[in-house]
Structure 1
Amino acid sequence: MRTLLLLLLSLSVQANADFEIRLGVHNFPPYFVMTDNDNCGGEAVELTRNILQQGNIRLTTVCAPPARLYKMLQNGEVDLTINIKHTQALPANISFIQTPFAQLSLILLSNSSAAAPDKPTIAAIRGFDYHGQREVMAAKGFSFIDLPDSISAVEMFVRDRSTALLTYQAPFDHYLQQHKLSFEKHYQYKVLEHIDAYYVISEQSPHKVYITETLNRYASSEQLSYFAH
């Protein structure tokens, strides 16, 4: 009982405090959208802001490639981000919100019209191991072209500068829609698996209790299976 009272008191104090929560964002539309290195938004940013931004508590974004965000999580330079659980580059000092944010479809695309190279290449995001699929594709003889974010990887493939693309469905579809491109007939498409993504909170964050309890309370009150609809 004493522990519960102390927790409620802590949340009450934080809710009436004046502080900033830093959400780590990389270019992964439509959830995260970066217009440049200083401006980022997207559906996940707006939803997270609506949940966590209360009273004098503000939510700001930190725009960076995934590999850099993982280091910032480790050091507490960002308070939270959204990611799948099994990325090997994630630091150890993190926690996850139990309710998943969204379910992602991991897909493999290849260009059947391209001449077969001596060593096939595959565009991917630097720092992502894609739930073990990076190792699988490397064992099949693919050489990885690692790019800073999802859109850079999609562009590499669409411009015929890689044999294949390992990506998630959402940013690929977003890219085609934004550029008014159709799905080319010579693209070979395969869904590899469906993977849940979660809110990831840095254990170094001074606001981890407020963030965790507020997100959990919202998920419970709304009876959510996923934060993103």
Structure 2
Amino acid sequence: CAGCGRSIMDQEYLGIQKTDKKWHIQCLRCYDCNEPLDKDQSCYVKQGNIFCRTDYFNRFGSIKCPTCNSGISPKEHVMKAREYAYHCSCFICHTCNRLLKTGEEFAMRGCKLYCKEHFQSITSDHRHSHHSNKDNSGENHDSSNSNDITDEHGRSKRIRTSFKQPQLRTMKTYFALNHNPDSKDLKQLSIKTGLNKRVLQVWFQNARAKYRRSI
């Protein structure tokens, strides 16, 4: 027996295809969890060790769940958000560890998931921190930057945050000259304001829509 090293006297024993090794029925066990494999229809051999399906993909699976960092089996049911795949049991809020239900809105920061309540809480804390640390010039924040909030189908909505007044002044001044800046203009504005091009693009789209409504 490859498990215990003793002779196999039983009429029934277990073997694995493509190996010449044999086991007592009770001796064929997963290397990681030590659970018997006699009732499993398949097991996996890697680096000379025997694994159950779950532990094999946890160790060697090419797709990793961002929450637990374990592999995902090809036939396993998963929850998907953006480019990430999660074990169903790992689709939880990063703050409260509550399992997110199908149909429930949730938000993402990187690969971390948040229920709507806790995402709004951390974005509120973030805005409060900006107000607390503003300089002595007395300049207030104004709209509108955004974070992604995502439903269970991976569709994104936008949550408004804030711009600083100097950023708004720069954008409004440029908008008075050119309603539709090209990529080069957006790059220069990005350097001046410290905002990324995508945020600037959205602001100018909104500004154009507002301008058309006012005509």
Q: For this structure pair, what is the TM-score category when the shorter chain's length is used for normalisation?
A: under 0.3
Whichever structure has more strand as a proportion of its residues is 1
Find the structure with the greater CA-based Rg.
2
Q: TM-score by structure 2 length? A: 0.20
Higher normalized contact order (CA 8 Å, seq sep 6+, divided by chain length): 1
